[in-house]
Amino acid sequence: MANKLGPAWSLPVIAAALAPPRSSTESRWAAAGPTGATLEEHLRDHVANRDWGAVLAVLQTEWVTQLLADPQGLRTAIESLPVDILQQAPGWVIARSYLDRLVGPAEKLTTSYRHPPITGTPRTLMDVLVVLTSKIADRRATGRMAAAAAGAAEARALLAESDDEAIDGLHPLLPDLHYQWGMAWEYAEDLDRAALEYTDSFNAAVLAGHRFIQAAAAGSVAWVHALAGRNIQARHWLRRVPDPTGEWWEDRASITARFARTHLLLDELREQEAGVELAKVDLAASPERWPAQKYLAAITEKDPSRSFDVVTQIDSNRPATDSRPENEGQAPIVAVARSILLTRVGDFTGSRNAIRQLTDAADTGGFGSQLGLLWDVGAALLTEDHSRVAREAAMLIQSSFGTPRILIGALALRAAAARRTGDTETASNAFELASQHARRHRLYLSLTLIPRTDLAELLALHPGSIPDHLHEDLLSNAVSDGAHDPFRRLSAREREVATTAVRYQSIAEIAAALFVSTNTIKTQLRSIYRKVGINSLEELRTVTVSGRATA
């Protein structure tokens, strides 16, 4: 049958949407047929008859319905489209690639999303946005988070600059576009812009009846709020997640909601319940979410042997995946996860280095960078670098008023450092503020960044600041005072010498690497030996590698 494609049939799809509305004379009844058969049956008949105009008519008006009800049939229909249609409307190529990742055979898929080659030139706003969004997803999937975020900003600007007539045809497409832009911002550490895009995605999905994206977007808004510690907003958004009804897409759509619930439970120190919730997450459908899953697993897991298993999973997964979170975007939560786990298995040197390597990298100013710095300040408290704790905690406090997870932790660290140096007034004021915010958001986990001895004294200093029934759980979750850390009493320069000694055989080589004299290195080594309780460079290397004191 002749191709009935006209100029208005340019394709606008990524993830779940379609081209401009059809004219009033091209009704849904005409597209589907009057016989009472289901849309799925009519779509199959149109494909069999090679009636491409009718196929496009059904896809255009019923994309969301077909996606939710029969994604495999939708995929088959798009695969059957002739080359000339794909050239005129290259967005269909993107749609086919998207459906492949949803319901296609795993053995034929790339290991992560790739922007497919297209032969046609995008000619409409919809096609331009679809192709650009596919490229954004490709950049994010391959670890180019800054480039993905730049693409998301460009896409939103194009949408904002468009006139009403052009936007009218975009409404079915908007849920998925906004969702992909939200993921780009989330992985680039900008949780505020991620929340904005996810919120727009949710609203567009409600209007379009797109329950899949409605659930995914509500869960994702909840997750970025929970990650930032905005737990009041996170709970609000979790109430917007639709109840499960057994649909095929629910496991995929529920991942971020489960992450949010897990973090909220951890913040309330309900670890067992958090572990049960996290165990329900199935990453098979969204493997790119592994850094968040491992971050939550690290906080949840207290057993040393299982902690060792998780850290080996992290280190095994990083080189095996196309995504490169250690370079961009997800690096901070991966580093924090490794630091927590390494502390649990007794590798204090490795734990400290995991965070130090992160904070030595460029500071993006995003949430992840703040989180990494917060944990680094916590490590400085363990090594009794109180002036640094006071200085950097104050910087974090000033920059984190909208991020309670960082704010509460920084206030607690400031209070602990002040208490240790005899500044009781500052300690009291800082801990009172930390407690107020912790109670308001039911976010007690951030208080456990300070050692249990400090936390116990601050709780005693402020009776009633935290509900009494939480004290035992708070203290049991607080970090160790570092008594088993061999380098706890070393200065920052001495720690640098100790870690450098692992890589070189002689004192002269260590001195050259640090650009100091051999006499300086000898002096620092004598001090290190005395503080750690060892007698030789060889023993120092052993302690540094193991992360444990020899006695």
Q: What is the mean pLDDT of each run of 10 residues along the chain (551 residues)?
A: 34 35 35 54 81 80 84 86 83 82 70 71 82 93 91 95 80 90 94 97 94 97 98 98 91 95 98 95 86 94 86 74 51 90 81 76 72 91 89 94 96 96 95 97 96 93 91 89 66 78 85 90 88 82 59 33
Q: How far apart are CA 479 and CA 450, in angstroms?
A: 6
pLDDT score for 21: 34
Report pLDDT for 25. Answer: 32
* Whether 91 contacts 128, CB under 8 Å: no
In DSSP notation, 100-119 reads: HHHHS-GGGS-SS--PPP--
Chain mean position to CA 15: 20
- Paired tokens of 157: 């600007």
- How distant, in Å, are the alpha carbons of 97, 298, 318, 327 from that of 283? 20, 16, 15, 21
Position 1 scores a pLDDT of: 37
Token pair of 258, please? 């489960």
CA distance 113 to 61: 27
- CA gap 289, 283 in Å, rounded: 7
- Which residues, listed in sequence order, are joined to residue 451 by a DSSP beta bridge? 479
Report d(CA 186, CA 397) in Å as an integer. 22
Do the Cβ atoms of 547 and 351 come closer than 8 Å?
yes
What is the CB-side half-sphere exposure of residue 422 using CA atoms within 13 A? 0
Q: What pLDDT was estimated at residue 45?
A: 82
Residues 414 and 378: their CA atoms lie apart, in Å, by 10
pTM: 0.81
| Identity of residue 516 | V
pLDDT of 213-256, one tens digit each?
Answer: 999 999 999 999 999 999 999 999 999 999 989 999 999 999 99
Six-digit token string for 5:
């494609």
| Phi and psi angles of residue 547, each rounded to the nearest 5 degrees, phi first | 75, 10
Helix (H) or strand (E) holding 471: helix 471-477
pLDDT at 316: 79
Give 479's strand partners. 451
pLDDT at 442: 97
> CA quadruple 384, 386, 387, 388: dihedral positive or negative?
positive
Distances (CA, A) of 97 to 79, 105, 145, 370, 396: 10, 12, 21, 36, 43
Q: Phi-psi category of 515—alpha, beta or left, where left has phi over 0 and alpha has psi -120 to 50? A: left
- Give the SS3 label for residue 534: coil
pLDDT at 12: 36
* SS3 label, residue 243: coil
The residue among 377, 371, 374, 339 whose CA lies nearest residue 355 is 339
